[in-house]
Amino acid sequence: MDRRKLIISGLAVAGSTGLASCATAQQTPAPGGTPLGQDPNYPVEGQQAATYSPEEIVQDVSDFLGVTAEAAGGAVERIFAENGRPTGYIAGEEGSAAITIGARYGRGLLYMKNRQTQEVFWQGPSVGWDLGANASRVFTLCYNLHYPDAIYQRFPGVEGSAYLIGGLGVNYQKASDIILAPIRAGFGLRLGANVGYLAYSRQRNLFPF
User: Do 26 and 74 reside in the same domain of the chain?
Assistant: no
User: Do 33 and 61 reside in the same domain of the chain?
Assistant: no
**Angle in degrees, CA 90, 96, 98, rounded to 5:** 150
Q: Per the domain annotation, does 121 fall within a domain?
A: yes
Q: Per the domain annotation, does 46 fall within a domain?
A: no
The domain in which residue 26 lies consists of 1-39
Q: Which among 202, 204, 148, 153 has a CA at the least distance from the CA of 174?
A: 153
| Alpha-carbon radius of gyration of the chain | 24
User: Do 64 and 165 reside in the same domain of the chain?
Assistant: yes
User: Do 35 and 60 reside in the same domain of the chain?
Assistant: no
User: Do 68 and 12 reside in the same domain of the chain?
Assistant: no
Q: What is the DSSP string of 137-149?
A: EEEEEEES--SGG
- Other beta carbons within 10 angstroms of residue 192's beta carbon come to 15
Contact 170, 186 (CB under 8 A): no
User: Do 58 and 136 reside in the same domain of the chain?
Assistant: yes
- Over its length of 209 residues, how does the chain's per-residue pLDDT go in tens digits? 454 444 444 444 444 444 344 344 333 333 333 433 444 445 544 568 899 999 999 999 999 999 999 999 999 999 999 999 999 999 999 887 666 677 889 999 999 999 999 999 999 887 665 566 677 899 999 999 999 999 999 999 876 677 788 788 898 999 989 999 999 886 544 555 556 789 999 988 876 66
Q: Per the domain annotation, does 206 fall within a domain?
A: no
Total of domains in the chain: 2
Cβ-based burial of 174 (10 A; exposed 0-12, middle 13-18, buried ≥19): middle
User: Do 84 and 181 reside in the same domain of the chain?
Assistant: yes
As a dihedral over the C-alpha atoms of residue 76, residue 78, residue 84, residue 86, rounded to 10 degrees, the angle is -30
User: Do 78 and 34 reside in the same domain of the chain?
Assistant: no
